[in-house]
Amino acid sequence: MTSLTHRGFIHLGMDVARDSISVAVLAPDSDVAEVDKITSDAESVRRLIKAMGRPAGLWVCYEAGPTGYDLYRLLVSMGVRCDVVAPSLVPKGRGDMIKTDKRDARRLAGLHRAGELTAIAVPSPAQEAVRDLCRIRGDMVQDLTRARNRLGKFLLRHSLVYRGGSTWTDRHRRWLAGLSFEDKALASTFMHYRATVNLRETTLDAVEADLAGYFTTQPFGDAVLRLGAYRGVTHMGGLCLGAEVFDWARFPKARSFMNFTGLTASEHSSGLSTHRGWITRAGNSHVRGQLTEAAWSYNHVANVGHGLRERQDGVPAGTIARSWSAQTRLSKRFRALAARKNVKSVVATAVARELAGFLWAEMTAVD
């Protein structure tokens, strides 16, 4: 049944590519959308909307993707209602093996009029800019990890294994500095691997220095302060979470936010049988990564260490109380699951899912 809120509009489903946009126009009294193709520049979009007539009678949708939100902002500035929809939640027939831009545009227009598409929240330009800076930090962390792994594997191939404890401590770095190779080619290889690691570390430090300036500025200052009061969530982690979510109230329940993170279990149930599998991974991968990283800190008994105590300085009492409640619950949960599970990463994922619920409750609490 067609949703009442979607009736009376001319629905435009747009399949957006780098150089072109396929536009399916579905009139209120029609069941078949007419499809046209325009170039993706702003002037072509303006001409299309002008030709359609009254902007208030139009309702556009397109899938979120690499083309970003400039099209959304352009349409909204022209008085056109627009939804950016989640691609992973667009219904697709299992037997539909044909994919073209025109078919995709028609599908979007029809599903949108039927109310079957899920719109995502669109950040403001300032929020998107900080989010991009947070995401490049994530890229730099991955690059640094790869560079360190390559160096470690190179040393392993030549039977050089560090056995003095944790790697990339000051002691480990001194051990690396003391290594030497008689063969000139090996010495050059080792030098280049170490130089790459140093370069990645310097780049990451520079990005984090830029991000630190947003810890106390709005609209992220409040999120950084409150999220940073939770164990495992540093101020940097709080900023990254705040930049990705930015509007916590759009999730009506904790379960909705857990689904957004992709940390909920997949399920295939039919009749009397119920089968649950791996996590869906259908949500925001950046939020999921931050939560999973934070979850590992609950492997230890509940405790307020020096770093957490510093982050809780100046935080409202209600937030500190909720943080302690979360820590006691999740620390106990981690140890209980670890006693039954052989794979600790599964335990960390389960704890990350519950941590997501606690953080949602914190950011939607009214003290």
**pTM for the whole structure:** 0.89
Token pair, residue 118, equals 């899920």
Our CA angle for 118, 119, 123, nearest 5°, is: 150
DSSP element (H, E) containing 209: helix 184-212
What whole-number distance in Å separates Cα of residue 6 and Cα of residue 212? Answer: 44
Q: Output the CA torsion 104→110→115→117 (10° steps).
A: 0
Sign of the Cα torsion 270, 276, 281, 287 reads positive
Is there a domain that residue 360 lies in?
yes
Residues 259 and 336 placed together within one structural domain of the fold: yes
What whole-number distance in Å separates Cα of residue 96 and Cα of residue 87? Answer: 16
Residues contacting 79, CB < 8 A, separation 6+: 55, 56
Last residue of a domain, one of 177, 195, 212: 212
Count of the separate structural domains present in the chain: 3
Last residue of a domain, one of 63, 90, 113: 113
Residues contacting 346, CB < 8 A, separation 6+: 337
Token pair, residue 37, equals 């193709």
Q: If you average pLDDT over every residue of the chain, what do you get?
A: 93
Residues 150 and 251 placed together within one structural domain of the fold: no
Is there a domain that residue 208 lies in?
yes
Model pLDDT for residues 155-206, shown as the tens digit of each residue: 999 999 999 999 999 999 999 999 999 999 999 999 999 999 999 999 999 9
Amino acid 20: pLDDT: 97
What whole-number distance in Å separates Cα of residue 288 and Cα of residue 90? Answer: 21
Is there a domain that residue 119 lies in?
no
What whole-number distance in Å separates Cα of residue 1 and Cα of residue 114? Answer: 7
Model pLDDT for residues 32-67, shown as the tens digit of each residue: 999 999 999 999 999 999 999 899 999 999 999 999
Last residue of a domain, one of 161, 189, 212: 212
Amino acid identity for residue 260 in this structure: F
Amino acid identity for residue 73 in this structure: R
Nearest to 2 by CA among 116, 114, 117: 114
Q: Are 84 and 61 in contact (CB under 8 A)?
A: yes
What whole-number distance in Å separates Cα of residue 315 and Cα of residue 335? Answer: 28
Is there a domain that residue 325 lies in?
yes
Residues 255 and 182 placed together within one structural domain of the fold: no
Residues 108 and 132 placed together within one structural domain of the fold: no
Residues 108 and 179 placed together within one structural domain of the fold: no
Is there a domain that residue 135 lies in?
yes
Residues 133 and 164 placed together within one structural domain of the fold: yes
Residues 208 and 225 placed together within one structural domain of the fold: no
Amino acid 265: pLDDT: 77
Model pLDDT for residues 66-77, shown as the tens digit of each residue: 999 999 999 999
CA atoms within 13 A on the CB side of 73: 9
Residues 240 and 202 placed together within one structural domain of the fold: no
Residues 252 and 206 placed together within one structural domain of the fold: no
What whole-number distance in Å separates Cα of residue 148 and Cα of residue 167? Answer: 10
Residues 107 and 206 placed together within one structural domain of the fold: no
Q: What is the CATH number of the domain that holds 86?
A: 3.30.420.10
Helix, strand or coil for residue 51? helix
Is there a domain that residue 10 lies in?
yes
Is there a domain that residue 118 lies in?
no
Is there a domain that residue 329 lies in?
yes
Which range marks the domain in which residue 257 is found? 221-271+279-364
Burial 63-79 (b: 16+ CB within 10 A, else e): bbeeeebebbeebeeee
Model pLDDT for residues 281-322, shown as the tens digit of each residue: 888 899 999 999 999 999 999 999 999 999 999 999 999 999
CA atoms within 13 A on the CB side of 201: 8
**Band of residue 5 on the pLDDT scale cut at 50, 70, 90:** low
Residues 189 and 250 placed together within one structural domain of the fold: no
Residues 72 and 148 placed together within one structural domain of the fold: no
